[in-house]
């Protein structure tokens, strides 16, 4: 079944029989000049990646829809790929992604013009927008928790420990390659244990992101689910070096996708005073505000436009397996449904194809991943024809 209600949806990826995707919604897919779009190319879409499965890394020339392969990696998944993204520095030709070398995960920076590569000992979970540092987590522990977000191939050394002192959140310095454990899972557990539902829990960091200036980061700490209890989340923030640890909201709650509006305000779908919906939380004052109490009652991948005045939001498949995409003007409080796409049912495992909509640098185009044509591909949508209306 092919269903698309977008009048100007354009497929970016070539018709070569392969599956293409970018990955997550909050990392840069478009080059600085918006002419290139990064992509993973794989040969299957119907199961989780295994230890020996390889993804090709490359870019698409948007005006030609041609894919140029640059490298290969065994550190990837269908939800976030290999954390492939443009590296944020003055050199517009560099990209970064995660790799696996035998029994070790790491990361690699490639200059797409020269082909020069630089390898680092830590896999990145998020890159400082200034290009100075990266935050790292244990992707093997993540694989045991949510296999669609971790990497296969390497066992977690602390698999049998609930909150090891030797594992947690790492900071990598791109200047000298040094890596430091800045917050251990033991420290995080001691900070959050007063809100845990039981005396002892196995915890991990699921998502983590620097604020726009790279001075602080937010992290979603979760505990492993059991037959009796599904995991919940506590949202923590800290300085880039792990100091000044805070809980944005006291307690383990329902909390999911987020996006920084500025260095202090975080947009997040979570439980709050108006129920579970989309909020703006202030990291400094702990104030919270529902963005629109009449909307956003379902989880979606949320992001602000480059000007921070329009919110882009998607949905999970409804009963007819349609995924919706819409914008919300935070100044006029007007929303517009852009359209919907059919999503093929791929079973109850983390290989689903979320839209993960992403803005280009100019805020004029969005790209998304979709399988509505019977394979996993990347599409783009010109935003000029869409204006917020009631």
Cα dist from 31 to 82, 139, 175, 195, 311, whole Å? 17, 27, 22, 42, 21
Are 152 and 167 in contact by the 8 Å Cβ rule? The answer is no
pLDDT tens-digit readout, 156-176? 999 999 999 999 999 999 999
Please count the helices (runs of H) and the strands (runs of E) in the chain: 2, 28
Q: What pTM value is reported for the model?
A: 0.95
Residue 76 makes CB contacts below 8 A (sequence gap 6+) with 40, 49, 53, 55, 82, 98, 151
Is residue 389 pLDDT above 90, yes or no? Answer: no
CA distance 264 to 283: 5
**Percent of the chain's residues with pLDDT above 90:** 89
What confidence category does residue 298 fall into, taking pLDDT thresholds of 50, 70 and 90?
A: very high
Encode pLDDT of 339-373 as tens digits: 999 999 987 778 999 999 999 999 999 999 999 99
354 Cα distance to chain centroid: 11
How far apart (Å, rounded) are the C-alpha atoms in residues 384 and 334? 16
Q: For the segment 123-147, what is each residue's pLDDT rounded down to a tens digit?
A: 999 999 999 999 999 999 999 999 9
Nearest to 291 by CA among 317, 327, 315, 263: 327
Instruction: Say how far apart CA 339 and CA 170 lie, in whole Å.
Output: 40
Quick one: tokens of 204? 């991990």
pLDDT bin (cut points 50, 70, 90) of residue 327 is very high
Where does the chain have alpha helices with state H? 139-145, 185-192
CA 83 to chain centre: 8
The per-residue pLDDT for range 162-221, each reduced to its tens digit, is 999 999 999 999 999 999 999 999 999 999 999 987 778 999 999 999 999 999 999 999
3 pLDDT higher than 70: no
| Residue-wise pLDDT tens digits, 231-243 | 999 999 999 999 9
- CA separation for the pair 269, 299 (Å, rounded): 6
Per-residue confidence (pLDDT) for residue 388, from 0 to 100: 43
DSSP string, 87-140: --SS-TTEEEEEEEETTEEEEEEEETTT--EEEESS--SEE-TTSSEEEE--HH
Confidence of residue 386 (pLDDT cuts 50, 70, 90): low
Which residues neighbour 226 within 8 Å (Cβ) at sequence distance 6 or greater?
none
Are the CB atoms for 325 and 25 separated by under 8 Å? Answer: no
Instruction: For residue 284, name the pLDDT band (cuts at 50, 70, 90).
Output: very high
- Region of 363 (left: φ > 0; alpha: ψ -120 to 50; beta: rest) is left
Confidence of residue 57 (pLDDT cuts 50, 70, 90): very high
Q: Are 254 and 232 in contact (CB under 8 A)?
A: yes
């Amino acid at each position: 079944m092919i269903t698309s209600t977008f009048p100007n949806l354009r497929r970016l990826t070539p018709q070569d029989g392969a599956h293409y995707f970018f990955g997550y919604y909050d990392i840069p897919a478009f080059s600085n000049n918006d002419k290139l779009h990064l992509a993973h190319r794989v040969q299957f879409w119907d199961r989780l990646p295994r230890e020996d499965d390889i993804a090709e890394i490359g870019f698409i020339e948007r005006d030609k829809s041609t894919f140029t392969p640059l490298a290969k990696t065994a550190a990837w998944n269908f939800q976030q790929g290999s954390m492939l993204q443009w590296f944020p520095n003055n050199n517009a030709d560099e990209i970064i992604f995660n790799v696996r070398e035998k029994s070790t995960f790491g990361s690699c920076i490639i200059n797409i013009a020269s082909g020069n590569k630089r390898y680092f000992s830590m896999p990145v979970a998020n890159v400082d927008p200034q290009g100075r540092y990266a935050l790292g987590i244990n992707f093997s522990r993540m694989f045991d928790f949510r296999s669609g977000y971790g990497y296969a191939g390497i066992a977690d050394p602390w698999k049998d420990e609930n909150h090891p002192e030797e594992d947690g959140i790492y900071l990598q310095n791109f200047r000298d390659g040094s890596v430091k454990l800045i917050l251990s899972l033991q420290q995080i557990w001691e900070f959050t244990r007063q809100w845990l539902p039981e005396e002892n829990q196995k915890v991990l960091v699921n998502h983590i992101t620097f604020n726009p200036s790279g001075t602080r980061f937010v992290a979603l700490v979760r505990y492993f689910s059991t037959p009796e209890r599904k995991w919940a989340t506590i949202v923590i923030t800290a300085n880039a070096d792990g100091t000044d640890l805070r809980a944005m909201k006291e307690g383990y709650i329902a909390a999911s996708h987020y996006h920084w509006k500025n260095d202090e305000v975080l947009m997040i779908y979570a439980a709050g005073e108006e129920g579970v919906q989309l909020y703006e939380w202030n990291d400094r004052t702990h104030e919270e505000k529902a963005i629109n109490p009449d909307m956003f009652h379902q989880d979606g991948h949320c992001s602000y436009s480059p000007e921070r005045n329009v919110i882009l939001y998607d949905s999970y498949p409804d009963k007819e397996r349609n995924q919706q995409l819409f914008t919300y003007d935070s100044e006029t409080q007007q929303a517009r449904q852009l359209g919907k796409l059919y999503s093929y049912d791929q079973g109850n495992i983390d290989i689903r194809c979320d839209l993960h909509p992403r803005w280009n640098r100019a805020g004029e185009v969005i790209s998304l991943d979709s399988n509505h044509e019977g394979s996993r591909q990347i599409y783009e949508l010109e935003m000029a024809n869409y204006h917020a209306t009631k």
